Structure 1
């Protein structure tokens, strides 16, 4: 059985979502955040960088949520969370899937971190975030999700950052993204994951 090292209010919820969709159980080891909202020292005993999520499977230790999602999808022969291979939609999906942490996360965090501390979001950070949210809205198109009615890996991957933005009222002025967030929260895997492990976003 997969062992998942899951930090509270973290990207680990992405992994629980996919496992729920696939009907696969896991041995979940939970870690509470410190008073400074950091990962506890115990996670450094699992991964040298103290990262979460991390999964253990058949002696393998795998970090990075994008890699874990791809690993689980391959391990369980899942073809329901990506468009058909070789199609234009498949490669659009791969772009969006990697875009989340390669490009969007850094921009979003520039707004999230001051908002989380109840400080004003710098103007340049707000402009950059608005630009990315407009790009995502364009990719959603008619929606409700990135590829229609079915949640793909890219939807699961982006959900964590969208959850943080929504929690901090940083989706104001972006109705398409707000509607997208509502649709994400209606997905069975999301519901199962958050019922099991708690909300994606922390209280403010």
Structure 2
């Protein structure tokens, strides 16, 4: 099951699940009156993070992953190896492929620098829309 908070970055997870052609159930949680995540998200992950994904492996205990980057890396490593460029010459500094370096850069850029700008834009838009 994938847990997502409405109007959040969790929507990107759905794109990846579809791209990987994985079966999934989704539970969407509504934000509270202050636009924060509801307390019930803590029933899935102790920090109440969204997105979060329950990984069910037959014969093993179900576990939960949180944080977009960690979820994406896990799902790609196990179900989407075709989406991850090979490092080439692993362990030899500076000799990995350009494709690998570009992939790694954009993975972290989207979670770091870009996301803070998008979050600020979303807040400003919500303030503007309340008028």
TM-score of the pair, normalised by structure 2: 0.76
Structure 1 unaligned blocks of 5 or more: 120-203
> Is 2:82 the counterpart of 1:75?
no
Three-state SS of the structure 2 residue aligned to 1:80 is helix
What value does the CA root-mean-square deviation take over the aligned residues?
2.1
Other-structure match for 1:22: 20
Three-state SS of the structure 1 residue aligned to 2:73 is helix
CA contact (8 A) 2:4 2:26 kept: yes
Q: Whole-Å Cα distance in 2 between the matches of residues 10 and 112 of structure 1?
A: 10
Residues 40-76 of structure 1: per-residue CA shift (max 9 Å, x gap): 1110222222111111113221100111011111121
Of the three residues 48, 51, 69, the one matched with 1:50 is: 48
Other-structure match for 1:118: 128
Structure 2 unaligned blocks of 5 or more: 57-61, 89-96
TM-score of the pair, normalised by structure 1: 0.51
Other-structure match for 2:38: 40
Q: Whole-Å Cα distance in 2 between the matches of residues 55 and 47 of structure 1?
A: 9
Q: Whole-Å Cα distance in 2 between the matches of residues 25 and 55 of structure 1?
A: 12
CA contact (8 A) 2:39 2:48 kept: yes
Give the 5 Å matches for 1:63-142: 63-76=66-79, 78-86=80-88, 87-118=97-128
Q: How many residues align?
A: 117
Q: Whole-Å Cα distance in 1 between the matches of residues 54 and 105 of structure 2?
A: 27
